[in-house]
């Protein structure tokens, strides 16, 4: 069925940003069309332009009146850990009161506390809790959400979490796109070596899920005292057997050359990049791998920010994601987060929008969305304002209009 969206006050098409592959962007690359119309069917955008230029012969079967609102490419959150149980609010307070992470960890806090809570509840409860979180994220205008496993840290529990994500993906398939990332290599459980854990849990599950085709990518926490270079390398090699690309939690605590390793494997993205040096940024700028920044973690933990401007100036393809999780960033409003961090990163407005639409889509291997361009997938976000500047200017005010409310 062909549907016309009419009365679009402004359409942020990102057409020019799309042509430039999301790199070296100037404000003009937002390619804003005033007083626009857009025609689409179930598969693709058929036409977009000024409403006065809509060809008369177009077949139109349905009309959606946007009543002077703003239309943008769909907002994409490309890094979350939203399947978990319990909370770590006490840790947040302890940190404010000067307690070190090492002491929090020694007292039973940190990721092991989330693992304990997550493994204590049923998959139905996990599923219902995750649904609530997804509905809330969706209410901010986000239509594609990546979810990682990784709070089980045993064969049965990691399996449980990945199957919960798969169930969520199927439940929302006509509405919200869920991207299922296998991240069992998130941490090493107490009492095991990384080799034992990989052999007993990660490799067998990768084999099983790879054959069943229920995961979309793999991910690993590549840091000192977690998984090393050789293990990260091996995961990405093993994933290719199932035509799965990788993502890497890279260079958060140390410059481990995670960015360079991600580029070597043409990974979908490498994420965090707080400590990456110029060699890593150069590798990223010359690769297809998306550099995903997670400013919420910097804000939540009171840490420094990635040197985004340096990476952007080299020609890096940069996304911003929430990293929504119970320990290091209990925050789920991506637009607010991007607006809050763009001045820190010294990003221009096109870089900001590309970071949460076009480049975030590419961080999930979704190359046919993220811009309002003929032939691209019809995935949009709508905001209740007549000028787009309001969306990132109105910190904490949710202007998103749920798509299903309009159709």
Residues near Zn ion, by CB under 5 A = 323
Which is closer to Zn ion, CB of 363 or CB of 372? 363
At closest approach, how far in Å is the CB of 268 from Zn ion? 14
Pick 29 or 323: Cβ nearer Zn ion: 323
To the nearest 10 degrees (0 to 180), the angle between helices 349-356 and 334-345 is 140
Copy the structure tokens of residue 297. Answer: 């973690």
Q: Whose Cβ is closer to Zn ion: residue 4's or residue 360's?
A: 360
Residues 6 or more apart whose Cβ sits within 8 Å of residue 48: 11, 13, 33, 36, 37, 38, 39, 372, 373, 374
Select 149 or 381, whichever has its Cβ closest to Zn ion.
Answer: 149
Q: Minimum distance from CB of 150 to Zn ion (Å)?
A: 8
CB of 271 to Zn ion, least distance (A): 6
- Please, which residue, 91 or 323, has the CB nearer to Zn ion? 323
Task: Quote the least distance from Cβ 164 to Zn ion, whole Å.
Answer: 17
* CB-based contact 80:43 (threshold 8 Å): no
Q: Which is nearer to Zn ion, 37 or 341 (CB)?
A: 341
**Cβ–Cβ < 8 Å for 17, 31:** yes
Q: Per DSSP, which regions of 27-107 are E strands?
A: 32-40, 45-50, 62-73, 75-77
Sign of CA dihedral 149, 396, 110, 79: positive
Question: Considering the complex, what minimum distance in angstroms separates the CB of residue 388 from Zn ion?
Answer: 29
Whole-angstrom distance, CA of residue 85 vs CA of residue 111: 11
User: How far apart are alpha carbons 104 and 102 in whole angstroms?
Assistant: 5
Q: Are strands 75-77 and 142-148 parallel, antiparallel or unpaired?
A: parallel
Least separation in angstroms between CB 228 and Zn ion: 18
Minimum distance between the CB of residue 323 and Zn ion, rounded to whole angstroms?
A: 5
Residue nearest to Zn ion (CB): 323
The distance of closest approach from Cβ of residue 79 to Zn ion in the complex, given in angstroms and rounded to an integer, is 6
The answer to whether 93 and 32 are in contact (CB under 8 A) is no
Q: Please identify, using beta-carbon distances, which residue of 79 and 362 lies nearer to Zn ion.
A: 79
**Cα 177-86-183 angle, rounded to 5 deg:** 45
Q: What is the DSSP letter of 305?
A: P
Cβ neighbours of residue 95 closer than 8 Å, sequence gap 6 or more: 101, 104, 301, 302
For Zn ion, which is the closer residue by CB, 14 or 147?
Answer: 147
Q: Is residue 127 exposed (0-12), middle (13-18) or buried (19+ Cβ within 10 Å)?
A: middle
């Amino acid at each position: 069925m062909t549907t016309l969206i009419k009365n679009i006050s402004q359409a942020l098409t990102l057409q020019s940003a799309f042509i430039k592959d999301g790199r070296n962007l100037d404000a003009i690359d937002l390619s804003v069309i005033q007083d626009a119309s857009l025609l689409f069917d179930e598969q693709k955008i058929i036409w977009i332009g000024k409403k006065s230029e809509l060809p008369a012969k177009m077949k139109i079967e349905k009309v959606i009146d946007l009543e002077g609102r703003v239309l943008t490419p769909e907002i994409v959150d490309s890094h979350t850990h939203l399947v978990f149980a319990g909370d770590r609010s006490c840790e947040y307070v302890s940190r404010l009161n000067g307690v070190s992470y090492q002491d929090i960890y020694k007292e039973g806090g940190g990721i092991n506390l989330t693992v304990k809570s997550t493994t204590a509840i049923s998959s139905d409860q996990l599923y219902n809790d995750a649904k609530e979180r997804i509905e809330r994220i969706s209410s901010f205008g986000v239509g594609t959400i990546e979810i990682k496993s990784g709070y089980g840290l045993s064969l049965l529990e990691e399996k449980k979490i990945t199957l919960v994500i798969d169930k969520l993906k199927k439940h929302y398939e006509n509405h919200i796109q869920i991207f299922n990332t296998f991240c069992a290599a998130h941490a090493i459980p107490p009492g095991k070596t990384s080799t034992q854990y990989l052999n007993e849990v990660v490799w067998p599950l990768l084999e099983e899920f790879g054959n069943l085709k229920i995961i979309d990518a793999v991910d690993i926490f590549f840091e000192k005292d977690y998984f090393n270079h050789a293990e990260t390398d091996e995961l990405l090699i093993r994933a290719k057997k199932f035509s799965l690309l990788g993502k890497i939690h890279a260079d958060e605590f140390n410059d481990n050359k995670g960015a360079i390793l991600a580029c070597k494997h043409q990974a979908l993205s490498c994420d965090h990049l707080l400590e990456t040096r110029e060699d890593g940024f150069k590798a990223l700028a010359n690769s297809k791998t998306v550099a995903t920044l997670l400013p919420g973690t910097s804000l939540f933990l009171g840490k420094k920010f990635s040197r985004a401007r340096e990476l952007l100036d080299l020609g890096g393809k940069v996304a911003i994601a929430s990293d929504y999780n119970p320990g290091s960033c209990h925050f789920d409003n991506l637009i607010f987060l991007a607006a809050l961090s763009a001045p820190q990163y010294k990003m221009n407005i096109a870089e900001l929008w590309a970071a949460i639409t076009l480049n975030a889509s590419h961080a999930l291997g979704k190359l046919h969305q993220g811009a309002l361009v003929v032939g691209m997938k019809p995935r949009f976000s709508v905001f209740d304002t007549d000028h787009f500047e309001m969306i990132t200017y109105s910190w904490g005010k949710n202007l998103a209009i749920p798509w299903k409310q309009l159709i």
